[in-house]
Amino acid sequence: MDKLVIEGGRPLRGTLTVSGSKNTALPLMAAALLADGTTTIDNVPNLRDVNTFSDVLRVSGAEVEFDADAHVMTIDASTIDTPVAPYELVKKMRASFYMLGALLGRCGKGRVSLPGGCAWGPRPVNLHLEGMRAFGAEIELDEGYVVAHAPGGRLPGGTFTLEPSSVGATINLALAASTAQGTSRIENAAIEPDVVVFLEALQRMGAQIDGIGTRTVEIEGVDGLQPIAVTNCPDRIELGTFMIAAAIAGEPNDTIRIENANPDHLGRAFLDKFAATGTHFVTGADHVEVSAPDVLEPVSIETAVFPGFPTDLQAQWSVLLSQSPGAATITDTIYDDRFSHIPELARMGLQASVDGNTVTVEGHTHLKGATVMSTDLRASVSLVLAGMVAEGQTDVLRVYHLDRGYERLEVKLQNAGIQIHREQYDEFATPDVLKDD
């Protein structure tokens, strides 16, 4: 397995470049299945999740080619013949469940494994299933698989209200509805930028969609969709992560430039809270410049749907809070037990207590390097951030979690002055103290 080894205390300097969005690339790939031809997507990040989903697409019969250096993917979906998404792949990545909507939309049927649990809670898919049923799908469960049929080959369409609003369910339902026979309406639809960029791509493919970016999305089914060439948007969570990195590890009076970014996609809440920490930043159309303050103000946050504070940035925020002089809280209203990084950060000296869906972080913490373990994607990057500001060496184990969502993070950070490298290690090796001399 791989680990990241970080020698803390080096300032972050210069320029960081944001990769394409993981959470938008995956729905765009699913959308490509709806077209009878070859779709080209550029700015696709070379990530483990993207490669896993490519394999999921290949199982269905699609031909997927990915030029990882150029970040260009082509998907020829004219060859789809196996409407199945197997457990072996779906268990690796929940977004594979988008195959349900894509296969129903393209083939009128699908056999898709249920994703199961997740490191931080049950993460249900009930809304996806209830929504598909409301649009006319017949659904049963068979040996851990969802088996779905559109009667007569195409869904009749219908109306479904998402409660709570869900990114994943909005995307899945839109995939299923685009080629339905009738009209479908999604109420309380998600308005996250990932969803908007995806729906706009579907529209360019020929889908008839009204209300993109609003809470009511109406889709009038069409006979089929055309392949397109589409550019994926920058990753908003990587941008937010880099802004936090600059605030805690940059030097006051220095400016760190973050390129290939779309700051509008972060949402108002994050930008306002970030400004309230006293960090100076300037946003441009495709970049952000950040200067660390002398003192980081402790700022409490609560996650919420867009344009609220993203749940995917709360783990990183806990490291920022540790470096400010007072206590503040983080409340996750989207996922109420997404705090597996806290006990790991505690091994580095973080003082924090968890009560329900709220964690209180005591500020003014002198973090010290330690061996810590990644437990999920955003937790792992918070450990890397902590390692950057800690005294001494931090080893972040199991970085395969990080590799799901951050492209060549250690190379980007090395180029910006951080002493970090990747090493292989044996998870089951005998500890040195037990070895004979």
Catalytic residue set: 118
Residue bearing tokens 């779905």: 148
Q: Judged by CB under 6 A, which of 169, 292, 367, 370 binds ligand UD1?
A: 169
Compute the distance between CA of residue 186 and CA of residue 169 in angstroms, rounded to an integer.
10
* CB 296 to ligand UD1: min, Å: 25
Site string for ligand UD1, 92-131 (x = CB under 6 A): -------------------------------xxxxxx---
Q: Is 23 in the site for ligand UD1 (CB under 6 A)?
A: yes
CB-CB contact of 85 with 56 (8 Å):
yes
Using the minimum distance from each CB to ligand UD1, give the nearer residue, 40 or 357.
Answer: 357
Q: Is 313 in the site for ligand UD1 (CB under 6 A)?
A: no
Using the minimum distance from each CB to ligand UD1, give the nearer residue, 65 or 163.
Answer: 163
Q: Is 21 in the site for ligand UD1 (CB under 6 A)?
A: no
The side-by-side arrangement of strands in the sheet containing 72-76 is 63-67, 72-76, 38-42, 229-231
Using the minimum distance from each CB to ligand UD1, give the nearer residue, 123 or 364.
Answer: 123
Structure tokens at 322: 């540790």
Using the minimum distance from each CB to ligand UD1, give the nearer residue, 8 or 307.
Answer: 307
Compute the distance between CA of residue 314 and CA of residue 293 in angstroms, rounded to an integer.
20
* CB 264 to ligand UD1: min, Å: 15
Q: Judged by CB under 6 A, which of 14, 151, 164, 252 binds ligand UD1?
A: 164
Sequence letter at residue 15: T
* CB 398 to ligand UD1: min, Å: 18
Say how many C-beta atoms besides its own lie within 10 A of residue 156's C-beta: 16
Q: Is 233 in the site for ligand UD1 (CB under 6 A)?
A: no
27-35, 140-148, 162-170, 251-259 -> range binding ligand UD1 (CB under 6 A) = 162-170
Q: Is 311 in the site for ligand UD1 (CB under 6 A)?
A: yes
Compute the distance between CA of residue 434 and CA of residue 437 in angstroms, rounded to an integer.
9
CB-CB contact of 222 with 179 (8 Å):
yes
Q: Is 341 in the site for ligand UD1 (CB under 6 A)?
A: no
CB-CB contact of 231 with 42 (8 Å):
yes
38-46, 165-173, 225-233, 278-286 -> range binding ligand UD1 (CB under 6 A) = 165-173
Using the minimum distance from each CB to ligand UD1, give the nearer residue, 335 or 425.
Answer: 335
Residues 177-206 that bind ligand UD1 (CB under 6 A): 190, 192
Using the minimum distance from each CB to ligand UD1, give the nearer residue, 33 or 95.
Answer: 95
Report which DSSP code applies to 324: S
Q: Is 369 in the site for ligand UD1 (CB under 6 A)?
A: no
Using the minimum distance from each CB to ligand UD1, give the nearer residue, 39 or 165.
Answer: 165
Say how many C-beta atoms besides its own lie within 10 A of residue 424's C-beta: 7
Q: Judged by CB under 6 A, which of 312, 332, 407, 410 binds ligand UD1?
A: 312
* CB 23 to ligand UD1: min, Å: 5
Residues whose CB is less than 8 angstroms from the CB of residue 28 and which lie 6 or more positions away in sequence, other chains included:
41, 197, 198, 201, 230, 232
Q: Judged by CB under 6 A, which of 217, 305, 372, 402 binds ligand UD1?
A: 305
Tell me what percent of the chain is helix, strand and coil, each rounded to the nearest 5.
Answer: 35, 25, 40
Instruction: Name the 3-class secondary structure at 144.
Output: coil
Q: Is 148 in the site for ligand UD1 (CB under 6 A)?
A: no
Q: Judged by CB under 6 A, which of 84, 100, 167, 386 binds ligand UD1?
A: 167
CB-CB contact of 183 with 218 (8 Å):
yes
Angle between helices 167-177 and 98-107 (to 10 degrees): 10
Using the minimum distance from each CB to ligand UD1, give the nearer residue, 27 or 108.
Answer: 27
Can you spell out the DSSP letters for 375-413? -SHHHHHHHHHHHHHSBSEEEEE-THHHHTT-TTHHHHH
* CB 404 to ligand UD1: min, Å: 11
How many residues touch ligand UD1 (CB under 6 A)? Answer: 20
Structure tokens at 210: 């009204």
CA–CA distances in Å: residue 2 to residues 120, 372, 398, 410: 22, 13, 6, 12
* CB 89 to ligand UD1: min, Å: 18
Would you tell me which residues interact with ligand UD1 (CB under 6 A)? 23, 123-128, 164, 166-169, 190, 192, 305, 310-312, 334-335
